[in-house]
Homo-oligomer: A and B are copies of this chain.
Amino acid sequence: MDRLIEKIVKMSNPSVVGLDPKLEYIPDYIKKMSMDLFGNTPKAAAHAIFRFNMQIIDAVCDVVPAVKPQMACYELYGSWGIRALEKTISHAKQKGMYVIVDGKRNDIGPTMEAYCQAYLGDSELFLNEKYSAFGSDSLTVNAYLGSDCINPLLKKCGECDKSIFILLKTSNLSSKEIQDEKLISGETICERVGKMCEEWGKNCIGKYGYSRVGAVVGATYPKELKNFRQQFPHTFFLIPGYGAQGGKAEDVAFAFKDGLGAIVNSSRSILCAWKKNDCLPEKFAVEARMEALRMKDDIISKL
């Protein structure tokens, strides 16, 4: 997690821009250009998405340390969408940003190993040659399958200086249905998963005191953020739910200790700032940057 934390410290900005581009977020002039080039096809949709992302990245890369592409938005356009994701990740990396792929992946043994290679390491070609498929820095993970899912990730994170974020308490309303259920031990399920995160991370704690095993906790649950910050001192939090979903800077402040300990995500508020502010479509990237700076100031002011 050190590489991410260093970028956060350098920019004094514990926030990440979620790249969840839906076509409705993208200005018409970009969509028209893609359609003129490739017709009304998935290739054109993916082209528009990449051009949109590229300009967002260019506009925020000197003030925001990380981006978080949401896999579903790219899988929506099949192999063309995945091509747009590859190019987006590559562009973000060139601009020095830390890339957290939000895929919530989960599987076991050799299958999880394949996800590790795809997102955090290298995929094997013929004759033992290798190449990096996505080349991202971090992956979100669902731990319902237990250590068999997490162990291959721990190994890969160690080898390749990467990190993961495990779903603990998600920002949605129905997260309570499973995550808040009480075990006979008195803990809730998400508390138990939190303890497992500390355990999984205990041998890979970096110089800031946080391990490579982070956790996802929603901004919409400030009480949990506060408790978990105390209970899980080595677990760095990725916080969705700020902004459009209702989470406030006062809420996410509970996830921090001495100014560190978490990174707060915002997607729609930043990508759609140009729509909300009713400004020229051509200004979408400028508006995204202004919103990202506003978000940074908002969060920092409450720490």
Interface residues of chain A, those whose CB is within 8 Å of chain B, are 20, 22-23, 31, 35, 40-42, 44-45, 70, 72-73, 75-83, 85-86, 104-112, 114-115, 117-119, 123-127, 129, 131, 133-134, 142-149, 167, 170-179, 181-184, 189, 192-193, 196
A111 and B20 contact, Cβ closer than 8 Å, known pairs A42-B123, A79-B79: yes
How far apart are the CA atoms of A303 and B158 in the complex, in Å?
A: 47
| A134 interface neighbour in B73, B78, B172, Cβ under 8 Å | B78
Chain B neighbourhood of A179, CB < 8 A:
144-146
A145 lies within 8 A of B174 (CB):
yes
A170 lies within 8 A of B42 (CB):
no
A73 lies within 8 A of B146 (CB):
no
Q: Shortest 4 CB-CB distances between A and B: which pairs?
A: A146-B174, A146-B177, A72-B114, A79-B83
B142 lies within 8 A of A106 (CB):
yes
How far apart are the CA atoms of A41 and B81 in the complex, in Å?
A: 20
Closest residue of chain B to A31, judged by CB?
A: B126
| A72 interface neighbour in B82, B104, B112, Cβ under 8 Å | B112
A125 lies within 8 A of B40 (CB):
yes
Chain B neighbourhood of A119, CB < 8 A:
75
Known: A42-B123, A75-B119, A148-B175. 11 other contacts (CB 8 A): A20-B111, A40-B129, A70-B107, A72-B112, A75-B133, A76-B123, A143-B178, A145-B167, A146-B174, A146-B178, A183-B184
A108 lies within 8 A of B145 (CB):
no
Instruction: Please give the distance in Å from A10's CB to the nearest CB on chain B.
Output: 30
The secondary-structure label for the interface of chain A is helix
A146 lies within 8 A of B45 (CB):
no
How far apart are the CA atoms of A134 and B74 in the complex, in Å?
A: 12
B126 lies within 8 A of A44 (CB):
yes
| A42 interface neighbour in B104, B125, B177, Cβ under 8 Å | B125
Chain B neighbourhood of A42, CB < 8 A:
123, 125, 131, 133
How far apart are the CA atoms of A71 and B82 in the complex, in Å?
A: 13
Instruction: Please give the distance in Å from A26's CB to the nearest CB on chain B.
Output: 10
A172 lies within 8 A of B133 (CB):
no
A172 and B108 contact, Cβ closer than 8 Å, known pairs A44-B126, A126-B31: yes
Instruction: Please give the distance in Å from A65's CB to the nearest CB on chain B.
Output: 23
Instruction: Please give the distance in Å from A91's CB to the nearest CB on chain B.
Output: 15
How far apart are the CA atoms of A104 and B78 in the complex, in Å?
A: 17
Instruction: Please give the distance in Å from A103's CB to the nearest CB on chain B.
Output: 9
How far apart are the CA atoms of A129 and B182 in the complex, in Å?
A: 46
A78 lies within 8 A of B72 (CB):
no
How far apart are the CA atoms of A107 and B170 in the complex, in Å?
A: 9
A118 and B72 contact, Cβ closer than 8 Å, known pairs A42-B133, A78-B133: yes
B127 lies within 8 A of A148 (CB):
no
Instruction: Please give the distance in Å from A127's CB to the nearest CB on chain B.
Output: 6
Closest residue of chain B to A147, judged by CB?
A: B174
